[in-house]
Amino acid sequence: MPKDATHAPDTLLDVRNLSVDFRTPRGRVKALRDISFPIRKNRIIGIVGESGSGKSTVLWALLGLLAKNAEVTSGEVRFGDRDLLHASEAQLRATRGEEISVVFQDPMTSQIPVLTYGRQMRDILYRRPNVTTVEKRRMAVEMLGKVGIPDPDKRIDQYPHHFSGGMRQRAGIAMALLTGPQLLLADEPTTALDVTMEAQIIHLLQDLQKELDATVVVVSHNLGLIAELCDDVVVMYAGEVIEAGEVHEIFHNAQHPYTRALLECDPARIDDVSRKLPVIPGDIPDLTKPLSGCIYASRCQRAMPICRQQTPPTITRGEMSLARCHLLDGPHHDPDWPPPLDVMTVGKGEAGARKPARVKRDDPLLEVSDLNVQFETVGPLRARLKGITQRHVDAVLDVSLSVAPGETVGLVGESGSGKTTLGRTVLNLVPARSGSVKFEGREIRNMPEGRFKPLRRDMAMMFQDPVGSLSPRKSVRALITEPFQIHGISGVNLDDEAERLADMVRLPKPFLSRYPHELSGGQARRVGVARALALNPKLIIADEPTAGLDVSVQGEILNLMTDLQAEHGLGYLVITHNLPVVRHIADRLAIMYLGRIVEEGRTAEVFNRPVHPYTQALVEGVPQPDPDRRRVHVSISGEVPSLLNRPKGCDFATRCPYAQDRCRAEKPPHVTMADGRRHACHFPLGQ
């Protein structure tokens, strides 16, 4: 884009040739290189890209709030007649929160815990000296009401920890909109939220944008969210904008091979679960090294020799549409590119290598029946003093579940539904109150640790946060052989074992001498898998195996898990809230709500014909990566009640669109249907 281009009148903010470096001990990280894109008035613009592509850096650069070690090396950000990159601190402060405001990724950590919302919102309005405190409060209450906080005039005096995650994000939106900004920036606004909450927040943003005539920038790596919410899309890769355009252009007629690959990798888009998930092999390039040619060349499925030498041309289509690739113009122009959307351009998605048809065995590996787990919430003395009679909450209530060898069972539910507790109880890390847990037919519930320990070899856990659960001072080699030491297994050659395991999880040998902080998210996850596999377990309990991974890497891990299952006949219990993911790997699904399993059955059936209203809400709650399939309404409202006040009748009655009087009075029992599906609903759907 030429420097002197006068921007169109409907451009609110124009980013031109922005480059940002970070000074680090490893050298200069060229985090943004020559970024240009317009933000058009009254539109919602989405910025997508993998982790580390520079999405957040763009947002912080707009606000002048880059980290201290950042240096803007070129460019300008035109906002009206100002250049925000070269504005004074005082000017910027007048812009931040007033004309440009932000909604943050994690509402749990981005709101100060020791001040009430009233106080925080009054502080934001500090630039209005002639508005009285009473008036400011009224404005804040009104805004809280607008974003859907019930009883705003009472709740405004509460602190962030009194609000649930979804409510906090609503309050965060209210804070950002309080001053009536022209531009609202939202950095991963729903990543920290559950599926049903996410759908609600997406619609809230959409409605507010229309109502307030605001312009919104949403940063996300969730393609579904972008397709559902945005008008314009900017695709970033490794610090460059590689493609931009209107949402339909991007999702239906993507020009750049990377955009294509991203779309093809999204599990939400792939209906054929018999194939492996496609992946984009390789990693994002090291931005401290000198870069030349096309930034995507090392991973591109169409890379040509010229790609590594020459910067690709920028092809502009419309007002804001652009793509940078040699295939689109110049001597290497390929008139057949891009192929129609149903042609896969990344790794064909090999068929067949999926699991062999399982022999139906009678004896399950794991069998949980009527399991109950309670947690104490108040001590006996305090309960006496405060007159509390209900000292416990039911974290897991009457759960029955089984996993056969070679089978994958997905356990799905929102946060607080008891999924992780169930997993931990099976592993005897949490005492159960009643019920039974059988492993290979043997009762193991509340078994003393001494007797249970040998069983831990047969059942392994894959933890949710791979980097956090790996000791930072141990090398990968030490980490993956640690289980041998924990179980005091001698007589094995640890080096051989380390290599065998690294091989199994396709981790290149040189990685064995690295330390956890030197691994990417996907590699750390592999180490987690290797550790779980070390002692040849029969059952693996995987807690959110792909949380926080990019779509391109997520597929790798899921494919790896499937391969290992086929090779070793492992049984998996996959705990997750990510429906598209379990849909690809699970044979059966169990849906949990407030500690109870509300529906259980074969994955395809549960997806295609949910019988429980909650399952239906979850399935419909997944945003589709297709702007033509936007949902018009949110299927369920409200949020998960606290375990402390479990509804008397059906747990879901407070949110269920079909709830009737009976639901509020009686708890629906578990019913097994003719096809083996089980549910807990008085009025199952489609019956």
Partner 1 sequence: MLYYLTKRLGLSAVVVCLVVLVLFSLLHLIPGDPATIALGPRATPEAIARYAEKMHLDEPVWRQFMIYVANAATGDLGLDVFSDRPVTAIIMERIGFTLALVGTGMGWAMLLGIPLGCLAAVKPNSWLDRITGVFSVGTIAVPSFLVSIWALLIFAVHLRWLPAIGAGEPGDLGDQVSHLILPAFAIGLSWVGYLARMVRASMLEVMGENYIRSARAFGLRPRRVIFGYALRVAILPTITLIGMGFGGMISSTVFAEIIFARPGIGKLIFDAVTARNFPIVQGAVLVATGLYILVVLISDILIAWFDPRVRESL
Return residues touching partner 1 (CB under 8 A): 63, 65, 92-98, 101-102, 104, 106, 109-115, 123-124, 126-127, 159, 161, 175, 381-382, 385-386
Q: How far is the CB of 56 from ligand ATP (least distance, A)?
A: 3
Number of residues that bind ligand SF4 (CB under 6 A): 27
Based on the shown chain and the rule CB under 6 A, indicate whether residue 300 belongs to the binding site for ligand SF4: yes
Give the one entry of ligand ATP, Mg ion, ligand SF4, none that residue 287 binds, where binding means its C-beta sits below a cut-off of 5 to 8 angstroms depending on kind. ligand ATP
What letter does residue 627 receive in the DSSP assignment? G
E runs forming strands in 49-127: 70-79, 82-83, 100-103
Provide the 10 A C-beta neighbour count for residue 424. 18
Give the one entry of partner 1, ligand ATP, Mg ion, none that residue 276 binds, where binding means its C-beta sits below a cut-off of 5 to 8 angstroms depending on kind. none
Task: Give strand pairing partners of 543.
Answer: 575
Region of 491 (left: φ > 0; alpha: ψ -120 to 50; beta: rest) is left
Based on the shown chain and the rule CB under 6 A, indicate whether residue 410 belongs to the binding site for ligand SF4: no
Q: How many CA atoms lie within 13 A of 161 on its CB side?
A: 4
Number of residues that bind ligand ATP (CB under 6 A): 16
Question: Which one of the spans 349-357, 422-430, 472-480, 658-666 is the region binding ligand SF4 (CB under 6 A)?
Answer: 658-666
Q: How far is the CB of 220 from Mg ion (least distance, A)?
A: 10
Of 297, 444, 459, 542, the one binding ligand SF4 (CB under 6 A) is: 297
Q: How far is the CB of 100 from ligand ATP (least distance, A)?
A: 18
Cα–Cα distance, 116 to 586 (Å, whole number): 44
Q: At what angle do helices 494-504 and 521-533 cross, to 10 degrees?
A: 120
Give the one entry of ligand ATP, ligand SF4, Mg ion, none that residue 654 binds, where binding means its C-beta sits below a cut-off of 5 to 8 angstroms depending on kind. none
Q: Are β-strands 215-220 and 44-48 bridged in parallel, bridged antiparallel, or unpaired?
A: parallel
Q: How far is the CB of 175 from partner 1 (least distance, A)?
A: 7
- Under 8 Å between Cβ of 677 and 603: no
∠ CA 249-251-257, nearest 5°, is: 90
Q: At what angle do helices 195-212 and 165-177 cross, to 10 degrees?
A: 20
Of 257, 416, 483, 625, the one binding ligand SF4 (CB under 6 A) is: 257
Q: Which of residues 13-72 bind ligand ATP (CB under 6 A)?
A: 22, 24, 29, 31, 49, 51-57, 67, 69
Task: Give strand pairing partners of 576.
Answer: 412
The answer for residues whose C-beta is within 8 angstroms of residue 488's C-beta and 6 or more apart is none
- Total residues found in the chain within this entry: 687
Q: How far is the CB of 93 from Mg ion (least distance, A)?
A: 23
Give the one entry of ligand ATP, partner 1, Mg ion, none that residue 221 binds, where binding means its C-beta sits below a cut-off of 5 to 8 angstroms depending on kind. ligand ATP
Token pair of 273 as six digits: 């679960």
Q: Which is nearer to ligand ATP, 198 or 497 (CB)?
A: 198
Based on the shown chain and the rule CB under 6 A, indicate whether residue 221 belongs to the binding site for ligand ATP: yes
Indicate the residue type of 380: P
Based on the shown chain and the rule CB under 6 A, indicate whether residue 326 belongs to the binding site for ligand SF4: yes
Q: How far is the CB of 508 from ligand SF4 (least distance, A)?
A: 23
Q: How is the chain split among helix, strand and coil, in percent rounded to 5? A: 35, 20, 45
Task: Considering only the C-alpha atoms of the chain, give the largest distance between any 2 of them, rounded to a whole number of Å.
Answer: 83
Q: How far is the CB of 353 from Mg ion (least distance, A)?
A: 34
Token pair of 662 as six digits: 């009976």
Cα–Cα distance, 524 to 173 (Å, whole number): 34
Give the one entry of ligand SF4, partner 1, ligand ATP, none that residue 52 binds, where binding means its C-beta sits below a cut-off of 5 to 8 angstroms depending on kind. ligand ATP
Of 613, 625, 627, 641, the one binding ligand SF4 (CB under 6 A) is: 613
Q: How far is the CB of 614 from ligand SF4 (least distance, A)?
A: 6
Q: Which is nearer to ligand SF4, 58 or 659 (CB)?
A: 659
Cα–Cα distance, 555 to 578 (Å, whole number): 13
Based on the shown chain and the rule CB under 6 A, indicate whether residue 259 belongs to the binding site for ligand ATP: no
What letter does residue 434 receive in the DSSP assignment? E
Question: Tokens 């396709």 — which residue?
Answer: 506
Give the one entry of ligand SF4, ligand ATP, partner 1, none that residue 378 binds, where binding means its C-beta sits below a cut-off of 5 to 8 angstroms depending on kind. none
- Under 8 Å between Cβ of 180 and 100: no
Q: Which is nearer to Mg ion, 425 or 546 (CB)?
A: 546
Q: How far is the CB of 38 from partner 1 (least distance, A)?
A: 22
DSSP, residue by residue, 503-524 = HHTT--GGGGG--GGGS-HHHH
Q: Cβ-closest residue to Mg ion?
A: 56
Cα–Cα distance, 417 to 423 (Å, whole number): 12
Q: Which of residues 278-317 bind ligand ATP (CB under 6 A)?
A: 287
Based on the shown chain and the rule CB under 6 A, indicate whether residue 663 belongs to the binding site for ligand SF4: yes
Give the one entry of Mg ion, ligand SF4, partner 1, none that residue 283 binds, where binding means its C-beta sits below a cut-off of 5 to 8 angstroms depending on kind. none
Q: Are β-strands 678-679 and 671-672 bridged in parallel, bridged antiparallel, or unpaired?
A: antiparallel
Q: At what angle do helices 476-486 and 521-533 cross, to 10 degrees?
A: 20
Based on the shown chain and the rule CB under 6 A, indicate whether residue 109 belongs to the binding site for ligand ATP: no
Judge if the upstream peptide bond of residue 338 is cis by omega within 30 degrees of 0: yes
Give the one entry of Mg ion, ligand SF4, partner 1, none that residue 56 binds, where binding means its C-beta sits below a cut-off of 5 to 8 angstroms depending on kind. Mg ion
Q: How far is the CB of 566 from ligand ATP (least distance, A)?
A: 32
Give the one entry of partner 1, ligand ATP, ligand SF4, none that residue 653 binds, where binding means its C-beta sits below a cut-off of 5 to 8 angstroms depending on kind. ligand SF4
Cα–Cα distance, 155 to 146 (Å, whole number): 13
Contacts with ligand ATP, 432-451, as mask; x by CB under 6 A: --------------------
Give the one entry of Mg ion, ligand SF4, partner 1, none that residue 610 binds, where binding means its C-beta sits below a cut-off of 5 to 8 angstroms depending on kind. none
Give the one entry of ligand ATP, partner 1, Mg ion, none that residue 126 binds, where binding means its C-beta sits below a cut-off of 5 to 8 angstroms depending on kind. partner 1
Give the one entry of ligand ATP, partner 1, ligand SF4, none that residue 98 binds, where binding means its C-beta sits below a cut-off of 5 to 8 angstroms depending on kind. partner 1
Give the one entry of Mg ion, ligand ATP, ligand SF4, none that residue 613 binds, where binding means its C-beta sits below a cut-off of 5 to 8 angstroms depending on kind. ligand SF4
Q: For the chain, report the end-to-end CA distance as a whole number of angstroms.
A: 59
Question: Which string of b and e fits 117-140 if b means at least 16 CB within 10 Å?
Answer: bbebbbebbeeeeeeeeeebbebb
Q: Which is nearer to ligand ATP, 57 or 523 (CB)?
A: 57
Q: Which is nearer to ligand SF4, 129 or 686 (CB)?
A: 686
Which ranges constitute the DSSP H helices of 391-430? 419-426
Token pair of 346 as six digits: 């990344």
Based on the shown chain and the rule CB under 6 A, indicate whether residue 312 belongs to the binding site for ligand SF4: yes
Of 11, 56, 110, 446, the one binding Mg ion (CB under 5 A) is: 56
Q: Which is nearer to ligand ATP, 217 or 426 (CB)?
A: 217
∠ CA 79-84-90, nearest 5°, is: 120
Token pair of 636 as six digits: 């369920």
Q: Which of residues 661-680 bind ligand ATP (CB under 6 A)?
A: none
Question: Which string of b and e fits 567-578 if b means at least 16 CB within 10 Å?
Answer: eebbbbbbbbbb
Cα–Cα distance, 274 to 349 (Å, whole number): 10
Q: Which is nearer to ligand SF4, 479 or 591 (CB)?
A: 591
Chain residues in the site for ligand SF4 (CB under 6 A): 256-257, 294, 296-297, 300, 302-304, 307, 312, 325-327, 612-613, 650, 652-653, 656, 658-659, 663, 668, 681-683
Question: Which residues would be at the binding site for Mg ion (CB under 5 A)?
Answer: 56
Which stretches of the chain bind ligand ATP, using CB under 6 A? 22, 24, 29, 31, 49, 51-57, 67, 69, 221, 287
